Structure formats: C-alpha cells, structure tokens
Structure 1
Amino acid sequence: MHWSSLLRKSKEVLNVAKPIVPSVERCGLLSQQLSRVQISTMAVKDNLMVASGFQGELICKYLNQPGVAFSTKLTTDDNAITNAVDVYCSSSGAKRIMAANNDAQIRIFDAETFSSLNLFSFDWSVNSTSVSPDGKLVAILGDSAECLVADANSGKVSATLKGHLDYSFASVWHPDGNIVATGNQDTTCRLWC
C-alpha cells in the first residue's frame, strides 16, 4: 500500500496474496508466476520497486505502470530466503538489481531487461550487501565474523574486514565512498576506511 499523508488516501501498489503474473513476457528470461509471497526485503529507487521473499522470490514493479514487470524464483534451495535487495547504478551508470540470499549467493540483474548478469558464491549465507556510491565496490556481510569488500562487477574480493565477533546484518556507505559502516549482532557498529 502507498499512503499519501497529504491526501490522506491509500492506494494498493502490489498485492502479494494474489497470483503475481508478469505483465510482459520477456524472451529468454526465466520469468514465472508466483503466489502468496511472504516479503522478506524491499528496495525502491527511481520508480522501480523490488521485493523479495522467504522462498527466494524476486518481484520487480515499475511504480508508474500497472502490473508486475518481472517475477521469478531465484533459488530452489531449502534455505532460500532473500535477505537483501538493492537497486543501484553500476560504475558505467547502468541501473542494476542485487539480491543476496541464504543460499550463499549474490545475483545481479539488469534493471531494464531483468536479464541475469552475474552470480557470486560465498562460503556463508549473505545477509546484507551495499554498493558504494560510485558503483565500483560492494560490501558483503553474512553468517561470518568477517565482512568482505569486493569489485561490484566481478565479485573479486579486494579486502577482508576483521573485527566483528559474530554475524553481520547491515551495511551502508558514506556518500563520499571512503567509509563503510557495518552492523553486527555482536552489538557493535564499525566504521571502515
């Protein structure tokens, strides 16, 4: 639901209790109908809303258009929950979608065509990702005391951040791109330069 505090009205944006059918068929994509999605995470940027679910679902909807643009199930893994989604601009300026799952994978999609661009695998469930403002780096956090910084295009790890004592669940970059903050269930937030 979208609530307008100015108009004091609500408007349905996406109903995940009903069957979700993409409004446009996209050649070569594994778009599929979904139903009764339990949303685990969401992101909105530049008119594109992305929602993901406990069973690895991914739903993409343009806020200014009726219907769903794209929907699919990212994984069939038993532990499929999508822990984080983000809509961001790559270093080339192209809009991208990043999804992080408990199946220890990060998936990157083109936000215009919804084609799969990349898949990065890790040794632990990925709980949070955040892309640097210039689109070049991604902070990767999960079921590990270590946090990673990797190239956002290749997934190649460039730094391992050590200091947390438990699993991490949140990260954000400073607007200048030189500092990343990480939040951990060890009850600390750390700033890394």
Structure 2
Amino acid sequence: MTAEAPDPDHKTGLSTRRTADGAEIGALIGAGFGLLFLIINTGQFSTLGRTLVIAVGVIVFAGIAVLAVRGLLRNRGGGGRLGESGTRGRREPPFGRAYWIIVLIEAVLLFAGARLLTSLGHPELGVAWVAVVVGTHFYALGRVFGLDRFHVLATVVTLCGIGGFIAFFAAAPAFIPVISGVISGFVLLAFAVWALTPTER
C-alpha cells in the first residue's frame, strides 16, 4: 500500500470551506444594486412601509459590506485560497477590459431603453427595463468573476423585470415597482448573502 499524501489543510488546521473566487466584489455589486432598487421603488409606499423596507435593506447591506470587506482584507493579508487546480492562490480582481465593456453596454442599454419608453409614453416601464438589463448583465459578470451562483441571480432578476412588463399588459401598473423593483432589490440582497456563503473546496 502507498502512503497517502498529507493534506496541507489538516496540517495547518485550515478549513476547506471557502467562498468562491470573486464572491466579495460580486456581493458588493449585487447588494449595492439591491439597496438602490429598494430606495428608488418604494416611493408609492406609505411612510412607515417605505421606512421599514429601506431600514431592512440598509441593515442587510451593512452586514454584507462588513463580511465582504473582511474577506477582501483577509485575502490581501496572505490567506490565499485553493484554486480550481488545487494550488493555493487568489485571482486578482477581474476589473479588466471585459468588466468595463459589460458596464458600458449596461449603461447604454439602461439609458437608451429608459428614454425610448418615456418617448413612447410609458415611463412606468422604466423599472421593469432596468431589472431586465441588470439581471442579464449578471450572466456576463458571473462569468468574468467566476461566480456561477450569479447566473441564478441573473435569471431571477430578469424574470422580475419580465414580470413588470406582464403587469403592465395585464393593466396592473401599480404592481410594476413592487415586482420589478422591490422584489428585485430583496433578491439581489439575498443572493449577495448567498455569494458570501462558504462552499466546500
């Protein structure tokens, strides 16, 4: 029988549960969008309702920010992770050309779509359009950041955007900011928390 190679994690006592590469940055981006969705789309709520929704959003965002910053500082301090090849290391944050191209395309689509909907006399569909664009852009960001969970996020938020268009055609425009705005906001915050959940490595 051949002796098994020692597991470096067992020798050093390190846990094999780690967050995915790019999780901290991805979580901050998703949580930021989520909080913004809540702030913008609760204008029709009562004062108490709006205050409660935004308060919950701020508390969740603050928790995500603390966990994400702690993770980034820990990684910078040398607590590297095991890459997919099994070697210890940490990818640099992927703020390269691909990332900025995605952001540029997203900004153009958001602006152009909102202007078009307004010119057609349906500015209330703007939030639904934003949810569709933000949702689909997470497909690309999930690939750039190497965060497959964001593909699930992309699907759910995009469906929230489509739900807003369905509400419009169903003659229920009052539900558009709730479906495409508030629900999307909480979905983004929830998935940001999920992104920071350690997985087996």
Normalised TM-score (structure 2): 0.23
Greater percentage in strand: 1
Instruction: Select the structure that is richer in helix.
Output: 2
Higher relative contact order (CA 8 A, sep 6+): 2
TM-score (norm 1): 0.23
